[in-house]
């Protein structure tokens, strides 16, 4: 069991290390995992990109229609003061 | 000055615009999806990983954050996502402090909140986040050891010494950790 005092600092260190692992992952490794999950990232409209290039909110993902900019709608959440 | 963006381009999600501008590749987008999911845990549930990712792209595209020349785009976007999350927690902390000072001004209502820095809510959520990461490696004791070492801020050499791992063991565990992270965070919710 990990120590829980200042868990935020431990988490920050852990996330940075895991982030580096993801950054270090090769393209081939990522594509291989996507295929194992049944995704076909080489195809346009692949489920690998739900929430990234296509909306995934509330089943709104559509093809061929202009998408509302959800990021702008929600920017208040992340606004800096 | 270039041609004005077409309607579809202007209305597309920021990540899609960045792809169209060749700022990132399709594989980068998958990498960023994994990172956004990792970093969005602990944010309020109504603001998901997708919002965090799109906001990071939006800040780069609108020029509020400039990518330094020597930093790869994906690494920089990951840093922006971390900073957005950190801003959120700083704002939450400020609200807590304001509430505490209001209570101090009104002694009858004081003593509801214990004097506690850091923010106890943040601590609780951090513990939950760590447990969720540990759970990804439930059946892999060596991977959990490495995770514990990273949590403690140990270097790879120190982790190998503490858990009696060879360099080959460590590299093989790192690979398992990477694959588990990719698998858990690329998968779409059912």
Q: Is B140 on the interface with A (CB under 8 A)?
A: no
Q: How far is residue A6's CA from residue B120's CA, in Å, rounded to a whole number?
A: 10
Q: Which of A10, A23, A53 is the closest to B130 by Cβ? A: A10
How confident is the model at residue B121, as a pLDDT?
A: 81
Which of A40-49, B111-120, B169-178 is predicted least confidently?
A: B111-120
**Most confidently predicted of B44-58, B64-78, B112-126:** B64-78
Domain span holding position A33:
7-78
CB-CB neighbors (< 8 A) of A75 in chain B: 55, 58
> Residues B50-70: pLDDT tens digits?
999 999 999 999 999 999 999
Query: B30, A50 in Cβ contact below 8 A?
Result: no
User: At CB < 8 A and 24+ separation, what contacts does B141-149 make?
Assistant: B142/B169, B142/B173, B143/B173, B143/B176, B143/B177, B143/B180, B146/B170, B146/B173, B146/B174, B146/B177, B147/A14, B147/B177, B148/A2
Residue A13 lies in a domain: yes
Q: How many other C-beta atoms lie within 10 A of the C-beta of residue A51?
A: 25
List of chain A residues whose C-beta atoms are within 8 Å of the C-beta of residue B39 = 15, 19
> What total of structural domains would you count in chain A?
1
What is the nearest CA distance from A54 to chain B, expressed in angstroms?
Answer: 7
Average pLDDT over residues B138-163: 96
**Residue of chain B with shortest Cα separation from A38:** B187
The stretch B128-139 carries a mean pLDDT of: 93
| Cβ atoms < 10 Å from Cβ of B4 | 8
Instruction: Look at residue B86 in the predicted model and tell me its pLDDT.
Output: 87
| C-alpha distance from B108 to closest chain A C-alpha (Å) | 31
Across the interface, do A77 and B47 touch by the CB < 8 Å criterion? Answer: yes
What pLDDT was estimated at residue A3? 63
Report the complex ipTM.
Answer: 0.81
**Least confident segment among A59-63, A68-72, B135-139, B165-169:** A59-63
Question: B112 pLDDT exceeds 60?
Answer: no
pLDDT at B124: 87
pTM above 0.95, yes or no: no
Answer whether residue B93 shows pLDDT above 80. Answer: no
Structure confidence at residue A44 (pLDDT): 81
Confidence class of residue A71 from pLDDT cuts 50, 70 and 90? very low
Contact at CB, B13 and A10, closer than 8 angstroms: no
Please report residues of A whose CB lies closer than 8 A to that of B16: 52-54, 67
In angstroms and rounded to an integer, the radius of gyration of the C-alpha atoms of chain B is 21
Residue among A7, A36, A49 whose CB faces B29 most closely = A49
Mutation target to probe the A interface, by most A beta carbons within 10 A, among B12, B17, B34 is B34
**Does B171 lie at the interface with A, CB-CB under 8 angstroms?**
no
Residue in B25, B32, B130 closest to A14 by CB: B130
Chain A CB within 8 Å of residue B14 CB: yes
Q: What is the pLDDT, as a whole number, of residue B11? A: 58
Higher pLDDT, A28 or A77: A28
Average pLDDT in chain B? 85
Asked if the C-beta of B97 comes within 8 angstroms of chain A's C-beta atoms, the answer is no
Would you place residue A54 in the very low, low, confident or very high pLDDT band (cuts 50, 70, 90)? Answer: confident
The answer to whether residue A2 sits within a structural domain is no
Residue B102 pLDDT exceeds 80: no
Whether B20 shows a pLDDT value over 80: the answer reads yes
Residue A45 belongs to a domain: yes
Q: What confidence tens digit (pLDDT) does each residue in B163-190 have? A: 999 999 999 999 999 999 999 999 877 5
Contact residues on chain B for A54, CB-CB shorter than 8 A = 13, 16
């Amino acid at each position: 069991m990990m120590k829980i005092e200042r868990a935020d600092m431990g988490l920050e260190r852990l996330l940075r290390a895991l982030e580096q692992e993801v950054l270090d992952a090769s393209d081939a490794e990522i594509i291989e995992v996507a295929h194992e999950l049944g995704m076909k990232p080489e195809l346009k409209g692949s489920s690998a990109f739900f929430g990234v290039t296509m909306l995934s909110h509330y089943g709104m993902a559509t093809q061929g229609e202009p998408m509302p900019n959800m990021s702008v709608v929600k920017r208040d959440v992340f606004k800096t003061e | 000055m270039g041609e004005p963006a077409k309607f579809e381009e202007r209305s597309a999600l920021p990540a899609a615009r960045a792809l169209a501008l060749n700022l990132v590749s399709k594989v980068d987008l998958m990498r960023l999806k994994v990172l956004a999911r990792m970093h969005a845990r602990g944010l309020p549930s109504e603001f998901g990983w997708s919002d965090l990712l799109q906001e990071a792209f939006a800040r780069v595209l609108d020029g509020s954050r400039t990518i330094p020349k020597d930093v790869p785009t994906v690494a920089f976007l990951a840093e922006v996502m971390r900073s957005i999350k950190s801003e959120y927690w700083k704002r939450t902390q400020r609200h807590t402090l304001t509430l505490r000072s209001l209570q101090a001004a009104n002694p009858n209502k004081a003593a509801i909140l214990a004097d506690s820095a850091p923010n106890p809510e943040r601590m609780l959520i951090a513990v939950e986040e760590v447990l969720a990461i540990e759970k990804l490696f439930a059946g892999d004791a060596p991977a959990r050891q490495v995770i514990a070492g990273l949590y403690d801020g140990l270097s790879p050499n120190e982790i190998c010494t503490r858990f009696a791992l060879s360099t080959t063991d460590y590299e093989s565990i790192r690979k398992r950790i990477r694959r588990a992270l990719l698998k858990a965070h690329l998968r779409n919710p059912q």
